[in-house]
Structure 1
């Protein structure tokens, strides 16, 4: 990626960060509920209520509240939970491993399985290709939380071979960690794999119809080499696009799946924080997911630039 293009993208990302952070702050602040009232209770005096509002800074104009929040953010201070009084950074630090493990494991599994099925479907466009189309429609249409409930009912409740909920850190053993991650990862992988497989099959099939593939076959290049090295590379741009969309989609998909399987991650915790009107926690979690999306877009842009360099070489 040329330096000028990278600098322009970086500037736009910084502007986007401030715009989205302001929108997050305003929208979360406007959600129904009152954090001060939730803390003091419905029977507290008005004086006590006003004191708590002043302590939390809720009596300040919204723009001043945002200034205090963004200033603390650049100092590494995400504020304190209005419910527990614990620093938000500590709350999220205790919950970051389950969410990251779920997102990374799902992304890797969906990427490998989706690309492999797509390439095989392009090489064998008969039954395999049609199965990829059907699987894509079904996997994209069925909600992930419903898939999770079905898997939990079958494998955890009826067969009793996997746990229904919870999370075991990987340092406590790979076996228990895999047992707790299996159902959530499969739940999130199904939809992403189906869509990626279809897009990969279509992109690779289009490349296999190009004249340069005919030329490679005429020179005796093996079908496996043509398929996995040349056709797949030519189809890389749409595949990378879908992979980027998959990572972005995981920021919302993990919220539902963590809630279904009671995984103590910060994605699922955002639901209870919202219900309790714990504004600092909700703002921090939303901002973290925003940063993930921005970084994902940067990685996709870098990969695009790398692919263009190889094509022009």
Structure 2
């Protein structure tokens, strides 16, 4: 298992390096006059040139890249060109906000999809068709529309939950729950729909295998058969879908944060990319890729635990 984890970790580190390098090169060659954006349109050409020299934009690309990567591997992601705030501090302030509703949404999606998918596969009939219809609708309806409906109904009309803002868990656990509930549900609907379909399909395939028929013929209880054997063997493909859903939820966080007024990393990525704030964009990209690598690593470990053959593949 240790070798299995190390291989996955090494592949993740290479991925982070490649993505960061490509991002640096693409942004550096985008043609955006960052120095002009910082000093303003009314500044003189000499002032814009001085700012570009201060930021190191007059140096060759390989030299600038080496300067950034040599600091990044030591944990120094630089300083924002616009706000003069350390990139690491900006990320520390925003990541917990995004992860709060993304992780809650993913957890809700995992639990609900396993329950609904298993019921659809085992029960069949009209209930199966209802769950399949829900899956189709949930996949088709965009998350921002669901978020708007939730905000109007539960925040504006019923006043049960706040429409905007974020309260840290350390400040108020109940306030934290209230502030992440609507964003998490908005993200979870689409993820639940897609994962439910995967769980249902995997469960139906497992229930039709010979060893399940053998266990049933030997008198094993249906509850034990489903929970201990069929469910465990049908989960690995669903874990893969959940890891992909995590990536999708991070991408969808940008719009959700705008709707609910959450100052998360999605909003930070959007504003920094619009301004051309290279250090901040690179820091956000590196952290988001690291989060994706970590989630995929955890999924691979769970996959290896559920299916020992994967450990040596």
TM-score normalised per structure 2? 0.93
Separation in structure 2 between the aligned mates of residue 46 and residue 57 of structure 1, nearest angstrom: 16
Please tell me whether residue 16 in structure 1 is matched to residue 23 in structure 2.
no
- Structure 2 residues without counterparts, runs of 5 or longer: none
| Alignment CA distance shift 1:175-1:51 (3 Å) | same
- How far apart, CA to CA, are the structure 1 residues paired with 2:167 and 2:5? 40
Give a deviation string over 1:209-268, Cα, whole Å, max 9, x none: 112222212222111111111101111221111121122222212122112111111122
- 1:182-231 C-alpha deviation (Å, 9 max, x unpaired): 11000000001111111101111111111222221222211111111110
Counterparts of 2:36 and 2:242, CA distance in 1: 44
C-alpha RMSD of the superposition: 2.0
> Who is 1:204 aligned against?
203
Unpaired runs of 5+ residues, structure 1, are none
Question: Corresponding residue for 2:292?
Answer: 293
- After TM superposition, the structure 1 = structure 2 runs for residues 139-218 of structure 1, keeping only pairs within 5 Å, are 139-218=138-217
2:36: which partner in 1? 37
Partner of 1:232: 231
Would you say the 8 A contact 1:248–1:292 is kept in 2?
A: no
Contact 2:77 2:283 in 1 (8 A): yes
Structure 1 runs (4+) deviating above 6 angstroms are: none
Deviations 1:14-67 (A, max 9, x none): 332221111111223344632211111112122221111111111122222221
- Whole-angstrom distance in 2 between the partners of 1:145 and 1:224: 39
What is the SS of the residue equivalent to 1:176? helix
Q: CA deviation at 1:170?
A: 1.2
- Indicate whether 1:50 and 2:49 are aligned: yes
1:251 alignment partner in structure 2: 250
SS in 2 for 1:172: coil
Report if the CA contact (8 A) 2:257-2:263 is conserved.
yes
What CA distance in whole angstroms lies between the structure 1 residues aligned with 2:31 and 2:71? 25
Q: Which residue of 1 aligns with 2:130?
A: 131
TM-score of the pair, normalised by structure 1: 0.93
1:140–1:194 contact (8 Å) kept in structure 2? yes
Distance 2:234 2:310 in 1: 12
Structure 1 distance, partners of 2:63, 2:216, is 67
2:121 aligned counterpart, secondary structure? helix
Partner in structure 2 of residue 121 of structure 1: 120
**SS state of the match for residue 165, structure 1?**
coil
Match of 2:270 in 1: 271
Listed one character per residue, the Cα deviations across residues 264-286 of structure 1 (whole Å, up to 9, x for unaligned) are 11122211222222221112111
CA contact (8 A) 2:52 2:58 kept: yes
Inter-partner Cα distance in structure 2 for 1:83 and 1:64: 22
The answer to whether the 8 Å contact 2:303/2:310 transfers is no
**SS in structure 2 of the partner of residue 285 of structure 1:** helix
Please report how far the alpha carbon of residue 8 of structure 1 lies from its aligned counterpart in structure 2 after TM superposition.
4.2
Spell out, residue by residue over 1:108-156, the C-alpha distance to the aligned partner (whole angstroms, 9 max, x if none): 1111111111111111111222122222221112211111112111211
Q: Distance in 2 between matches of 1:311 and 1:26?
A: 36
After the TM superposition, which of the residue ranges 53-62 and 300-309 deviates more from structure 2? 300-309
